[in-house]
Amino acid sequence: MHSQWRSAQDWKDQGLPLSTASNEACKLYDAILTQYAGWYDEESFGGMEGTLEKLKAADPDFVMGQVVANGLELLGTGRNTKLDAALRDDVSRMVELAQNTGKDISARERKHVDALDIWAKGDTARACLEWEDILTEFPNDVLALKFAHDTYFYLGYSAQIRDSIARVLPHWKPTMPLYGYIHGMHSFGLEETNLYPEAEAAARKALSINPRDAWATHTLCHVMEMMGRQHEGIHMMQTTTQYWESCGMLACHNHWHWALYYLEIGDYESALSIFDKEVTVRAANSGAMLDVVDVCSLLFRLQIEGVDIGQRWDKVYDVCKSHLHDHVLAFNDMHILISCLGAGQKEAVAEMMTSIQNFIKEGQGTNRDVMANVGEALLKAFISYSDDDFAAAVDLVNPVRYKVVEIGGSNAQRDLVNLFLIQAAIKSPKKEHHRLARALLNERKVWKPNAPMTDRLMAKAIEAHAD
């Protein structure tokens, strides 16, 4: 093992003792935690996947080893305990280990197990309360901080994304392991609550400490997108190598942002080129749900802009079709449905909607409530739009547009719904929807004054409604 990874004594000295007799397991736990915090693969260990395999082999009964392994699977949102028996067994074994070990594990470790067990059962909001309890006593527990941070993102809890980091920041010192990544995480929360100058400053501070900080790089992409600094973003991507070196496992997503810059300024050819050469290739290789939804989102945005996308939906649907019944996040479900509609898979659409309705009737947990309150209306709106019933699409989305935050994702990702509503309102035969389209565009102009897409859409609305 490399000497820089924390040993059992190091963890104890930092007030986070680990219940394992294996010093190697302690170091591997640090290695996986560091990769997770930095969103990168440590190639010397075979990346995150290889590190997890080594961690399990070092001590198969190490509870925190089970926690980090199961947590990464659950929070990856590509698997769930309802449909995946192997994952269900892994979570059950983790719970049994914690119960059977008795006094051999700490209260902090037991809370970690409880939080993941709650998450696996669907109550993601309550799982965050467990992690926050840990952080109140152990503000340097990065795993609790990261799990809460990512789950707040899934819940659309923008203030909590920001404040969960702010609460622990005073306890962090520059000499602590992973210190720089905490500023990267904080930068994203600042951006999601529209504090753009503060977010950029925090992101650049994080990158000055560690140029490989993928989350800080990601935040800069967001800031430039949301502030209408597309040309600056394109220049950054083209000329500054540190951003690509720091992309790590977020490389696909940051390429997605790059494509959005081009889409905003109307350079469809460049946006489509990035889709073909970077986004789809990386998503196919990773299989990560973040990458899969980015593929769906970018292709749909290109399509509603009038770009000829050929038969690209067919390959996208092939990646998405195994997730029709997941229902881990309404955000994911929306994108999976878009792929079915884009590929003209009517049977898959019907199958998925039946599954959604059963989930609402029989399911439980946070996502079940989100799906009932806003998700189902969104999905039905996309179906109506696909059927050229643009008025119905508007009438389904407009009443819930301020609830869309509940489906999770970032401001930039959820902007797809705003654009969808504007396009549907422009195409609707109802004059009140035409007025709504112009009102929404006025709103968007104030929100993003330097966004060329807004001007194009306003010109489109004026031309379409000239009579």
Rounded average pLDDT over 395-413: 96
Percentage with pLDDT > 70 across the chain: 97
Both 239 and 141 in one domain: the answer is no
For 407, which DSSP code? G
Both 148 and 31 in one domain: the answer is yes
For 323, which DSSP code? G
Residue 114 to residue 106: CA distance in whole angstroms? 12
**pLDDT of 172:** 97
Between 3 and 303, residue with greater pLDDT: 303
Phi/psi of residue 39, each to 5°?
55, 50
Rounded average pLDDT over 21-30: 97
The domain total for the chain is 2
**Band of residue 104 on the pLDDT scale cut at 50, 70, 90:** confident
* 380: pLDDT strictly greater than 70: yes
Both 63 and 132 in one domain: the answer is yes
Both 112 and 29 in one domain: the answer is yes
Q: Does 43 reside within a domain?
A: yes
Q: What element of type H or E holds 82?
A: none
Percentage with pLDDT > 90 across the chain: 89
Both 215 and 127 in one domain: the answer is no
Residue 24 to residue 378: CA distance in whole angstroms? 48
Q: Does 236 reside within a domain?
A: yes
The pTM is what? 0.96
Q: Does 350 reside within a domain?
A: no
Between 467 and 223, residue with greater pLDDT: 223
Residue 162 to residue 304: CA distance in whole angstroms? 33
**Band of residue 1 on the pLDDT scale cut at 50, 70, 90:** very low
Both 132 and 176 in one domain: the answer is no
Both 25 and 81 in one domain: the answer is yes
**Band of residue 102 on the pLDDT scale cut at 50, 70, 90:** low
Residue 22 to residue 7: CA distance in whole angstroms? 9
Residue 49 to residue 218: CA distance in whole angstroms? 23
Going from the C-alpha of 354 to that of each of 325, 336, 339, 350, 361, the distances in angstroms are 10, 14, 17, 6, 11
Both 88 and 190 in one domain: the answer is no
Q: Count CB-CB contacts under 10 A for residue 150.
A: 19
Give alpha helix (H) positions in 156-267: 158-168, 179-192, 196-209, 214-226, 230-239, 241-245, 251-265
Compute the mean pLDDT over every residue in the chain, rounded to the nearest whole number. Answer: 95
Both 8 and 125 in one domain: the answer is yes
Q: Domain of 228?
A: 172-246
* 433: pLDDT strictly greater than 90: yes
Long-range pairs for 254-258: beta carbons < 8 A, 24 or more residues apart:
254/214, 254/217, 254/218, 254/221, 255/279, 255/282, 256/294, 256/297, 256/298, 257/218, 257/221, 257/222, 257/224, 257/225, 257/233, 257/412, 258/221, 258/233, 258/234
Both 26 and 99 in one domain: the answer is yes
Rounded average pLDDT over 325-351: 98
- Closest by CA to 424, choosing from 380, 467, 455, 466, is 380
Both 30 and 148 in one domain: the answer is yes
Last residue of a domain, one of 246, 269, 301: 246
Q: Does 125 reside within a domain?
A: yes
129-171 residue pLDDT tens: 999 999 999 999 999 999 999 999 999 999 999 999 999 999 9
Both 52 and 129 in one domain: the answer is yes
Q: Does 317 reside within a domain?
A: no
**pLDDT of 248:** 84
Longest Cα–Cα distance of the chain, Å, equals 78
**pLDDT of 266:** 96
Rounded average pLDDT over 381-399: 98
